[in-house]
């Protein structure tokens, strides 16, 4: 999953939200360098990625990509799923996407948490807030636009994400998107169980 899903799945806990954003920037074993609730958010981010990568529906959808596009199928699916979440946001959450975005970046950029951000993460968070990036995830050209940008960041990106391959991937969207609702419903349930387990951890630590 991409940014929108990670942030939405973090729920009302600010530590989980910040950790959810930092999950793409903090690698390796967590050693307590950050407060426990943020490290739980990073763990949650990793669980979401693992659940998504190993889900039978996602594996099957990857196999449906033309052979020449499969090396980037995971990236493309993450973008497609985030796009569908943006389009259908109020199906899953009680507020419109624009309101969610405003409150989310206010929470992420709370001065209390800024010292927990690596410099690159803080710069990206501020840039995404300024661009209203989450709302733009709902744009019809979001997937193609994002893949065009990603190819500038990948080794051999011009080959892996040539215009012809991006066009092939775009053509798969009508086939892939109908699978999103059932998958995301399962993912939300798994995240809910994990967050409840965090609550049990906190309770046990106070005993």
What's the average model confidence in pLDDT over 56-61? 94
Range of the domain at 113: 3-205
pLDDT digits (tens, 9 = 90+) for 146-204: 999 999 988 888 988 999 999 999 999 998 888 999 999 999 999 999 999 987 776 45
pLDDT digits (tens, 9 = 90+) for 102-161: 999 999 999 999 999 999 999 999 999 999 999 999 999 999 999 999 999 888 889 889
- The predicted structure's pLDDT at residue 198: 86
- The predicted structure's pLDDT at residue 205: 58
pLDDT digits (tens, 9 = 90+) for 3-32: 999 999 999 999 999 999 999 999 999 988
150 and 166 in contact (C-beta within 8 Å)?
Answer: no
Number of domains in the chain: 1
3-state secondary structure 33-67: CCCHHHHHHHHHHHHHHHHHHHCHHHHHHHHCCCH
pLDDT digits (tens, 9 = 90+) for 38-57: 999 999 999 999 999 999 99
75 and 53 in contact (C-beta within 8 Å)?
Answer: no
What's the average model confidence in pLDDT over 87-111? 97
- The predicted structure's pLDDT at residue 206: 46
Instruction: Report the alpha-carbon distance of residue 7 to residue 89 in Å, rounded.
Output: 12
Instruction: Report the alpha-carbon distance of residue 69 to residue 83 in Å, rounded.
Output: 19
- The predicted structure's pLDDT at residue 111: 96
- The predicted structure's pLDDT at residue 119: 96
Exposed, middle or buried, 37 (CB in 10 Å: 0-12/13-18/19+)?
A: middle
């Amino acid at each position: 999953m991409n940014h929108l899903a990670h942030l939405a799945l973090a729920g009302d806990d600010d530590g989980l939200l910040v950790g959810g954003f930092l999950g793409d920037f903090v690698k390796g074993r967590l050693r307590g360098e950050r407060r426990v609730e943020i490290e739980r958010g990073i763990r949650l981010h990793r669980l979401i990625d693992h659940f998504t990568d190993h889900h039978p529906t996602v594996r099957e959808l990857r196999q449906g990509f033309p052979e020449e596009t499969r090396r980037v199928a995971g990236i493309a699916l993450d973008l497609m799923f985030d796009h569908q979440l943006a389009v259908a946001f109020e199906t899953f959450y009680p507020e419109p996407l624009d309101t969610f975005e405003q409150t989310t970046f206010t929470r992420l950029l709370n001065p209390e948490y800024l010292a927990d951000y690596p410099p690159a993460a803080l710069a990206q968070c501020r840039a995404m807030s300024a661009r209203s990036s989450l709302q733009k995830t709902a744009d019809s050209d979001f997937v193609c636009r994002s893949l065009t940008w990603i190819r500038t960041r990948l080794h051999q990106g011009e080959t892996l994400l040539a215009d012809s391959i991006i066009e092939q991937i775009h053509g798969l969207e009508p086939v892939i998107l109908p699978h999103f609702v059932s998958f995301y419903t399962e993912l939300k349930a798994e995240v809910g169980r994990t967050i409840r387990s965090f609550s049990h951890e906190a309770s046990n630590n106070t005993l």
